[in-house]
Amino acid sequence: MCLMTKKTLSLPLVFYLFFNVSAFAQNTQIKGFIDVLGTYDDSVSFGLGEQDLFITSELSDRLSFLGESVFKFSPSSSTQFSVSIERVVIKYNIQGNHNLILGKIHSPLNYWNDTYHHGRVFFPTIGRPLLFNAEIIPLHTSGISIQGHDLGKAKFGYDVVVGNGLGSSDIVDNDKRKSVILAMHIKPADRLRFGISFYNDAIAKGATIHDKINKWKVKQNLYSASASYFGKKFELLAEGTLASNHTDTTGSKNTLASYAYVGYKANKNVVPYIRVDNLHYQNGEVYFRKDNTTSVAGGLRYEINYLAVVKLEYQYQNSEHAPNTNKVTAQFAIGF
Partner 1 sequence: MIKSYIAGNINKLLLLLAILCAGPASMAQVSALTVISNAKGTPETLRFSELKSIFMGEQQRWRNGTKITLALMKTNTDVGKVTSFKVYGMSGDELNKFWLALVFQGKAAAPIFFNSVSELENFVAHNPGAIGITDQLAANTDIKTIMVEGRKIL
State the Cα–Cα distance between residues 276 and 255, nearest whole angstrom.
Answer: 17
Do the beta carbons of residue 195 and residue 170 sit within 8 Å? no
Asked if residue 87 binds partner 1 (CB under 8 A), the reply is yes
For partner 1, the binding residue among 39, 64, 84, 254 (CB under 8 A) is 64
State the Cα–Cα distance between residues 251 and 247, nearest whole angstrom.
Answer: 5
Least CB distance to partner 1 at residue 58 (A): 6
How far is the first Cα of the chain from the last one, in angstroms, to the nearest whole number? 49
* Candidates 91-99, 163-171, 235-243, 318-326; binding stretch for partner 1 (CB under 8 A): 91-99
For partner 1, the binding residue among 6, 31, 215, 289 (CB under 8 A) is 31
Asked if residue 117 binds partner 1 (CB under 8 A), the reply is yes
Q: Select 53 or 204, whichever has its Cβ closest to partner 1.
A: 53
Asked if residue 104 binds partner 1 (CB under 8 A), the reply is no
CA distances from 174 to 16, 149, 200 (A): 31, 32, 16
For partner 1, the binding residue among 17, 36, 58, 178 (CB under 8 A) is 58
For residues 139-178, one letter each, b for 16 or more C-beta atoms within 10 angstroms of the residue's C-beta and e for the rest, the string is: ebbbbebebbeeeeeebbbbbebebbbbbbeeeebbbebb
Amino acid in position 164: N
Asked if residue 200 binds partner 1 (CB under 8 A), the reply is no
Asked if residue 29 binds partner 1 (CB under 8 A), the reply is yes
CA distances from 281 to 180, 203, 240, 253, 286 (A): 23, 19, 13, 8, 10
Q: Select 66 or 196, whichever has its Cβ closest to partner 1.
A: 66
State the Cα–Cα distance between residues 152 and 297, nearest whole angstrom.
Answer: 38
Least CB distance to partner 1 at residue 216 (A): 36
Indicate the burial class of 296 (C-beta count within 10 angstroms; 0-12, 13-18, 19 or more).
Answer: middle
What element of type H or E holds 88? strand 81-95
Asked if residue 51 binds partner 1 (CB under 8 A), the reply is no
- Give the torsion through C-alpha atoms of 69, 222, 179, 207, to 10 deg: 80
Q: Mark residues 123-162: x for contact with partner 1 by CB under 8 A, - for none.
A: --------------------------xx----x-------
Identify the three-state secondary structure at position 12: helix
Identify the three-state secondary structure at position 97: coil
Asked if residue 202 binds partner 1 (CB under 8 A), the reply is no
Asked if residue 96 binds partner 1 (CB under 8 A), the reply is yes
For partner 1, the binding residue among 34, 35, 53, 62 (CB under 8 A) is 62
Q: Select 253 or 301, whichever has its Cβ closest to partner 1.
A: 301
Size of the site for partner 1 (CB under 8 A): 32
* Candidates 111-119, 123-131, 206-214, 235-243; binding stretch for partner 1 (CB under 8 A): 111-119
Residues 292 to 331 in contact with partner 1, rule: CB under 8 A: 303, 305-307
Least CB distance to partner 1 at residue 105 (A): 8
Asked if residue 265 binds partner 1 (CB under 8 A), the reply is no
